[in-house]
Amino acid sequence: MSVDPQLRTLEIDIPAQPDSLVKLSLLLADDEVNQQAVAALVQADMALAAAVMKAVNSSLYGLAGRVQSVQQAVTYLGTREIAGITFEMGLRAAFPPAPELQPIWDRAALRGVLMGRLAQAVGLDAWAAHSGGLFEECGKAVLFRHAPDHYRAMLRAAATDGDLIQLEHVGFGVSHDALGAALCDSWGLDPAAVTSVRHHVVAQGLLELPAAPARRAVLALSVIVQALMTVPASIDEVVPAVAPQADLDATLVLRAARRLAEQQAEAMAHGRKAA
C-alpha cells in the first residue's frame, strides 16, 4: 500500500523504525524463525529485555508461573507474541512519554495480542494481525508529538474516533488513521496490517469494510476485537456483520472470539486476585 503523496507535503514528521525493530523484522521474514536469535536480540538491549519480562509476567498473558528469562518467554509465548512486545516497546520509544499516550499504548498491547490470537485461531496471518492491532492508533502519537497542546485539546473534545478524525482534518489537514498507515508503510509492515490501520475508524464505526477484498481479513479482525474490548456481548452481532465481507467463516470466527472473551475475563480476574 503506497503512502498518499499528499502526506509527504505536510510538515509532520513520521519517526524512523528503530534499529532493533529493523533487525527483528529481518528475523521474522525467514520462513523458519530462529527463536534463539530472537531471544538474543532482545537480551542484547537491557531496557527491552526488562520491558519484555515485565509484559510477559503481566495479567495480559495469564501464565501460571513466573517467567524468569527471555528465552523462557520465547519458549512459552512463541516468537510472534515476543515480537509484538518488542515492537510495542519500539513504538513507544519513538515518541516522548506523555500521560495522554499511555492509554493508547495500553490498548495497543491488548489489541495486538487479541488480534494475533484470533487470526491464529481462524488460520490467518497472525503476525500481520498482531502488528495491525498494535499500530492501529499510532497516528495519534504522531500528531501528539507534532502539536502536543493542540492535539491534547482535540483528544479531550472528541467523544469518538470518528469525531476525532474530523477535528484532525480541520486542524492538520490529515487524520490519525492516514498518518498511522503511513508510519506502518514506512516501517515495512504487512500490507494487510497497513490497510487495517488506514480504514479501522470507518470500519469500526459503520461495520463496513471499505478496503479491497483481498486485504479485508485483518481489518475484519480489527472490528471484531474492538467490539471484544469495548462491549464483549456485541460480538454476536458484529461477527456475522463483518466476517462475510472478508470471506471468513462467521461460525468459526464467532467461536474463536467467544473463547478469547472467556480467556480475557479469566486473565482480568487473575490479575485482580494477584493485585
Query: pTM score, two decimals?
Result: 0.88
**Which positions ≥6 away from 273 have C-beta within 8 Å?**
none
Cβ proximity of 198 and 162 under 8 Å: no
Task: Tell me the pLDDT band of 232, cut-offs 50, 70 and 90.
Answer: very high
Predicted confidence (pLDDT) at residue 34 exceeds the cutoff of 90: no
More confident residue, 25 or 177: 177
CA distance 226 to 49: 29
6 half-sphere exposure, CB direction, 13 A CA radius: 7
**Percentage of the residues of the chain whose pLDDT score is greater than 90:** 59
Tell me, what's the pLDDT at 233? 93
For 262, phi then psi, to 5°, come to -65, -40
Mean pLDDT of 101-118: 95
256 pLDDT exceeds 90? Answer: yes
Q: Are 7 and 179 in contact (CB under 8 A)?
A: yes
**Residue 2 pLDDT class (50, 70, 90 cuts):** very low
The amino acid that residue 79 corresponds to is T
Residue 73 has pLDDT above 90, yes or no: no
Residues 170-185 have a mean pLDDT of: 94
Model confidence at 52: pLDDT above 90: no
> CA-to-CA distance for 65 and 180, rounded, in angstroms?
36
Which has the minimum average pLDDT: 5-19, 51-65, 150-164, 251-265?
5-19
Q: Average pLDDT for residues 213-219, to the nearest whole number? A: 90
**Residue 141 neighbours by CB under 8 Å, 6+ apart:** 91, 94, 95, 101, 104
How is residue 178 written as a grid cell?
Answer: 492516514
The stretch 219-231 carries a mean pLDDT of: 97
Report, as an integer, the average pLDDT of 54-79.
Answer: 82
Separation between Cα atoms, residue 113 and residue 204, nearest integer Å: 18
CB contact at 8 A, 177 and 199: yes
Q: Mark out the alpha helices in 135-234 (DSSP H runs).
A: 138-146, 148-157, 161-172, 176-186, 191-206, 216-230
pLDDT at 3: 44
Average confidence (pLDDT) over 67-81: 86
What is residue 100's predicted lDDT score, i.e. its pLDDT? 94
Average per-residue pLDDT for the chain = 89
Grid-cell match 517467567, residue found: 67
**Is the pLDDT assigned to residue 269 strictly greater than 60?**
yes
Which position has the higher pLDDT, 104 or 72? Answer: 104
pLDDT at residue 274, as a whole number: 55
**Better-scored residue on pLDDT, 38 or 201:** 201
With a cut of 50, say whether residue 104 has pLDDT above it. Answer: yes
> Of 29, 25, 24, 54, whose CA–CA distance to 40 is shortest?
24
